[in-house]
Amino acid sequence: MDKEKVSNLQLCLMMYLMIGGTSILVVPSFTAMYAKQDMWISPIIGSVFGFFNVTVAWLLHRRNPGLTLIEQAQRLFGKWMGSILGIVFLLFQIDAIGLITREYAEFIVQAFLPKTPLVMIIGCIVLTCSFAVRSGVEVIGRFAQIFGPIFLCFVLAIFLFLLAEYNYSNMLPVLGTGVMPSLKGSLEPSVWFMEFIFISSVYPSVRQGGNGLKGGLFAVLLMMITMVITNFTCLFLFGESTANLTFPFLSASRFVNIADFFSHVEAIVMALWILGGFVQISMWYYTLALGTAQWMKMTDFRPLVFPVGLLIGVFSIWVAKNFQQMLQYFPTGGTGSSIITLLLLPILFLLVSLVRGSGTRN
Amino acid sequence: MQTNEKVIFSDHLQENISHLKQRYADCFDVVFHDFNCGQTPAVIVYFMGLTDSDMINRYILEPTLKQISKDGGTTLGDFCKCLPVSSYTMIQTMDQALMEIGDGNVVMLMDGEDRAISLYLAKWEQRSITEPEAESVVRGPREGFIETLMVNVSMIRRKLKSPDLKMKSIRIGRFSQTEVVVAFVSGIIESSLVTEIESRLTRIDIDGILESGMIEELIEDNPYSPFPQLQTTERPDVVAANLLEGKAAILVEGTPIALIAPATIFTFLQSPEDHYQRYYIGTAIRWLRYFFTFIALIGPSFYVAIVTYHQEMIPTTLLLNMTKSREQIPFPALVEALLMEITFEALREAGVRLPKQIGAAVSIVGALVIGQAAIAAGLVSSPMVMVVAITGISSFLIPHFAFGISIRLLRFPMMLLAGFMGFFGLMMGLTLILTHLFALRSFGVPYVSLSTATRLSQLKDILVRVPSWKMNTRPRTGVWNRYRQGANQRPGPGRGGRGR
For the stretch A281-310, pLDDT in tens is 999 999 999 999 988 888 888 899 999 999
Tell me, what CATH number does A154's domain have?
Answer: 1.20.1740.10
Q: Is A265 helix (H, G, I), strand (E, B) or coil?
A: coil
Mean pLDDT confidence for B383-390: 90
Model confidence at B498: pLDDT above 90: no
Tell me which of B61-75, B94-108, B118-132, B371-385 is least confident.
Answer: B61-75
Whether A18 contacts chain B with CB within 8 A: no
Residue A357 lies in a domain: no
Instruction: Give chain B positions within 8 Å (CB) of A101.
Output: none
Q: Is A248 a residue whose pLDDT tops 90?
A: no
Return d(Cα A358, Cα A352) in angstroms, integer: 11
* Of A124, A261, A271, Cβ closest to residue B315: A261
Q: Where are the beta strands (DSSP E) in B199-299?
A: 231-233, 248-252, 258-261
Among A66-70, A170-174, A318-322, B30-34, the range of highest mean pLDDT: B30-34
Q: Measure the CA–CA gap between B358 and B378, rounded to whole angstroms.
A: 28
pLDDT at A210: 61
pLDDT(A1) > 50: no
Point out the least confidently predicted range of A221-230, A271-280, B26-35: A271-280
Domain definitions of chain B by residue range: 13-119, 149-263, 285-442
Q: Which of B225, B306, B424, B449 to mutate to test the interface with A (most CBs of A within 10 A)?
A: B424
Q: How far is B245 from chain A (nearest CA, A)?
A: 24
- Looking at residue B272, the DSSP 8-state letter turns out to be G
Determine the pLDDT at residue B276: 87
Contact B423 A138 (CB under 8 A): no
For the segment A98-118, the average pLDDT, to the nearest whole number, is: 87
pLDDT-based confidence at residue B62 (cuts at 50, 70, 90): confident
Quote the pLDDT of residue B454. Answer: 46
Indicate whether A1 belongs to any domain.
no
For the segment A113-139, what is each residue's pLDDT rounded down to a tens digit?
A: 888 899 999 999 999 999 999 988 888
> Is-contact B247 B260, C-beta < 8 A?
yes
User: Which chain B residues are within 8 Å of A7, Cβ to Cβ?
Assistant: 451, 454
pLDDT for A357: 67
**Amino acid A184: pLDDT:** 82
Q: Which domain holds residue A158?
A: 8-352
Give yes or no for residue B404 having a pLDDT over 50. Answer: yes
**What is the pLDDT at residue B465?**
80
Cβ of A270 within 8 Å of Cβ of B451? The answer is no
Q: Above 80 in pLDDT, residue B460? A: no
Query: Is A103 a domain residue?
Result: yes
What crossing angle do the helices spanning A42-63 and A345-356 adopt, rounded to 10°? 30
> In chain A, which among 94-113 make CB contacts under 8 A with chain B?
108, 112-113
Percent residues over pLDDT 70 in chain B: 91
Q: What is the pLDDT of residue B449?
A: 66
Q: What's the whole-number mean pLDDT along residues B289-315?
A: 89
Q: What are phi and psi of B114, to 5 degrees?
A: -95, 35
Phi first, then psi: give them for residue A40, nearest 5 degrees.
-80, -20
In whole angstroms, give the CA distance from residue A299 to residue A113.
41
Which comes out higher in pLDDT, residue B59 or A94?
A: A94
Instruction: Indicate if the alpha-carbon torsion angle B395, B396, B399, B400 is positive or negative.
Output: positive
- For residue A362, being part of any structural domain is answered with no
* Chain B residues close to A124, C-beta within 8 Å: 421, 424-425, 428
- pLDDT score recorded for residue A282: 92
Residue B69: the pLDDT is 57
- Reduce the DSSP state of residue A259 to 3 states and report it: coil
Q: Mean pLDDT over residues B462-476, rounded?
A: 75
Total residue length of chain B: 500
For B81-100, what is the mean pLDDT? 81
Contact B312 A278 (CB under 8 A): no
Averaged pLDDT of chain B = 84
Of B423, B425, B438, the CB nearest to A142: B438
A174 located within any domain:
yes
Q: Do A131 and B424 touch (CB under 8 A)?
A: no
Residue A359 lies in a domain: no
Q: What is the mean pLDDT of residues A51-73?
A: 85
Find out whether B159 and B236 touch, Cβ atoms under 8 Å.
yes
How many CB pairs below 8 Å do chains A and B form together?
82
pLDDT band at B180; cut points 50, 70, 90 = very high
The reported pLDDT for the residue numbered A29 is 83
A138 reaches B (C-beta below 8 A): yes
Quickly state the pLDDT bin for B216 (edges 50, 70, 90).
very high
Cβ pair B439:A7 closer than 8 A? no
Q: At what angle do helices B333-353 and B356-369 cross, to 10 degrees?
A: 170
* Residue A93: burial class (beta carbons within 10 Å; 0-12, 13-18, 19+): buried
Q: Does pLDDT of B452 surpass 60?
A: no
SS3 at position B446: strand
Distance CA A107, CA A288 (A): 23
* Minimum mean pLDDT range among A339-353, B109-123, B450-464: B450-464
A174-195 pLDDT tens trace? 777 777 888 888 888 888 888 8
What average pLDDT score do residues B367-382 get? Answer: 81
Residue A263 has pLDDT above 90, yes or no: no
Closest by alpha carbon to B370, among B354, B383, B388? Answer: B388
- Total domain count, chain A: 1
- Residue B67's pLDDT is 65
- Predicted local confidence at residue B2, as pLDDT: 45
Q: Which of B179-193, B317-331, B340-354, B469-483 has the lowest mean pLDDT?
A: B469-483
Does B424 sit within 8 Å of A274, measured CB to CB?
yes
pLDDT class of B55 with cuts at 50, 70, 90 = confident
pLDDT over 90 (residue B155): yes
Asked if residue A358 belongs to a domain, the reply is no
pLDDT of residue A360: 46
